[in-house]
């Protein structure tokens, strides 16, 4: 399993290096010392931490939604809305992720979507592309 440096963990989770160090110091995120005394986070431990953190974050968006078939819910802040006569493009910043949705202008207007609004991007797709970056 790969290991990630503190700075890599911070970039992946969208937090500061200091936040990751605090999590490590308090035992919230387990670390391993590599030769040369550098702290790293085991990939499996990071994955478990990310999943549990995502569960905590999803509570922010808990509200009147009583059931949903989509399992991929990304709470975030609307950062941009572009409307024309028929359609709207809505951008949501969810952690470090930019999620873009195309919808009818009527739907965007009814939801009151404007920059600064708390929203949840619920994604359900049969096609998800997975890529591996060079390390």
Phi and psi torsions of 91, nearest 5°: -105, 135
Question: Is the model's pLDDT at 122 over the cut of 90?
Answer: no
pLDDT of 23-39, one tens digit each?
A: 999 999 999 988 887 88
The conformation of residue 61, written as its DSSP 8-state character, comes to G
Last residue of a domain, one of 61, 81, 108: 61
Report yes or no on 18 lying in a domain: yes
- pLDDT tens for each residue of 61-77: 555 656 666 678 888 88
Helices and strands (H and E) in the chain: how many: 4, 7
Q: Tell me the CATH number at 16.
A: 1.10.1660.10
Same-domain pairing of 23 and 49: yes
pLDDT band at 49 (very low <50, low <70, confident <90, very high): confident
pLDDT value of position 67: 61
Last residue of a domain, one of 61, 86, 106: 61
Residue 41 resides in a domain? yes
pLDDT above 90 (res 107): yes
């Amino acid at each position: 399993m790969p290991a990630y440096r503190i700075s890599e963990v911070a970039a992946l989770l969208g937090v500061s290096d200091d936040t990751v160090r605090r999590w490590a110091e308090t035992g919230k995120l387990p670390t391993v010392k590599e030769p040369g005394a550098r702290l790293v986070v085991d990939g499996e431990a990071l994955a478990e931490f990310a999943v549990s953190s995502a569960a905590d974050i999803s509570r922010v968006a808990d509200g009147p939604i009583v059931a949903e078939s989509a399992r991929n819910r990304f709470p975030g802040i609307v950062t941009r809305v572009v409307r024309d006569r028929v359609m709207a493009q809505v951008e949501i910043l969810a952690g470090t992720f930019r999620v873009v949705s195309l919808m009818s202008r009527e739907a965007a207007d009814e939801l009151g979507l404007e920059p600064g609004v708390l929203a949840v991007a619920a994604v359900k797709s049969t096609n998800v592309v997975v890529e591996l970056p060079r390390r």
